[in-house]
Amino acid sequence: MIEVRQLTKSFARHQAVKGIDFNVAPGEIVGFLGPNGAGKTTTLRMLTGYLPPTSGSARVAGFDIFRQSLEARRCIGYMPENVPLYDDMRVREYLKYRATLKGLSNRDARRRVNEVIEICGLEAVRRKMIRVLSKGYRQRVGLADALVHEPQLLILDEPTNGLDPNQIRQIRDLIKKLSEKHTILLSTHILHEVEMTCGRVIIIDGGQIKAQDTPQNLVAGMRAAGRIHAEISGDLGVIGPALQRLDHVKRVTSEPLTDDWAHYEILVDSGTDARERIHELISQYGWPLRSLHRKDATLEDVFVELTRRD
Ligand SMILES: Nc1ncnc2c1ncn2[C@@H]1O[C@H](COP(=O)(O)OP(=O)(O)OP(=O)(O)O)[C@@H](O)[C@H]1O
């Protein structure tokens, strides 16, 4: 559905996107992640034909987005980061206007507007002025707009940005429902959302792709380098170095708690556990221990590992 090859965008001397390659297959729901300024919006704007690339190519549904822009754009429903809406129009009137602008006949526009109002849960506000809508409803109007011409592909730039947890859940459920019929490329900062909704993840940083895989594989790759958490009582200056000397321990960080207790995070080599060795060491010296567990990595750990600056 999407084929991107060596796509590059420079603004004056700054290269925002540096020759990226990726594919999205029909029916996939792919999360496009990266820290602020990573190049996500720039990439999405190129894919949707709003921004010409400096070099490289992109095809959507087989159409070259730059040479066959009109055909490609017919296949795309784009919801930009800050949905621009006409505040002085009513919801239904706005969607009808957008449908006509996208080339639907009067009859099709009427039919589709009714359908997207239902899909996006806008019945209660269909006659309201856009100006008076909550942020959650505005996002849904943006989604309805992106859907109105029945595109195969939905490109959503931070669709849950600025929403409260209930609204986030509603938009997430809506996106899941939409994924039954549409291919979706979704940019977001909420990693938990991605783990719950996306079959695959592309992580971009500094205009380059750092990883692309299923959330499960990315997390499994991290889990190989295990993280053990322990709370031990005793001298930090003795316990830390003793843990550090154990086989397979890569790094130990500690944080003092109350009454002589401290929390230790122990990073161990791939494929090793080390909890037994840690327990033996602690018993040997008689240090009181109140917790010892291995923490499974999350997509957030993967994201931080791949995009941290230090
Ligand atoms: N029109 C522009 N002119 C100059 N520089 C730009 C322009 N648009 C984006 N940039 C720069 O390109 C880089 C990538 O920006 P982009 O908006 O694509 O990042 P992003 O990953 O979407 O970030 P965010 O999560 O904050 O939206 C940034 O350094 C940004 O300052």
State yes or no: ipTM above 0.90: yes
| Torsion angle defined by CA atoms of residues 96, 174, 63 and 108, in that order, rounded to the nearest 10 degrees | -30
Residues 129 and 86 occupy one common structural domain: yes
Distance of CA 36 from the midpoint of ligand 1 (Å): 8
- Please count the structural domains in the chain: 2
Q: Does residue 227 contact residue 250 with C-beta atoms inside 8 Å? A: no
Whole-angstrom Cα distance, residue 23 to residue 200? 11
Q: How many CA atoms lie within 13 A of 284 on its CB side?
A: 9
Domain CATH for 48: 3.40.50.300
- Tell which one of 41, 185, 186, 202 to mutate to probe ligand 1, the residue whose CB is within 8 A of the most ligand atoms: 41
pLDDT over 80 at 200, yes or no: yes
Q: What is the pLDDT of residues 274-310, one digit of tens each?
A: 889 999 999 999 999 999 998 777 788 888 888 877 5
Count of Cβ atoms closer than 10 Å to residue 36 Cβ? 6
Residues 235 and 273 occupy one common structural domain: yes
> Domain boundary residue among 175, 192, 220?
220
**Which of 109, 113, 185 lies closest to 144 in space, CA to CA?**
113
> Ligand 1: residues within 6 Å at CB?
11, 14, 16, 34, 36-42
Count of Cβ atoms closer than 10 Å to residue 209 Cβ? 21
Q: How many CA atoms lie within 13 A of 33 on its CB side?
A: 29
Please name the residues in contact with 129: beta carbons below 8 A apart, sequence gap of 6 or more. 87, 88, 89, 90
**Which of 178, 184, 182 lies closest to 152 in space, CA to CA?**
182
Residues 66 and 180 occupy one common structural domain: yes
What mean pLDDT comes out for the span 91-120? 95
Distance of CA 172 from the midpoint of ligand 1 (Å): 25
Q: What is the pLDDT of residues 55-96, one digit of tens each?
A: 999 999 999 999 999 999 999 999 998 888 888 999 999 999
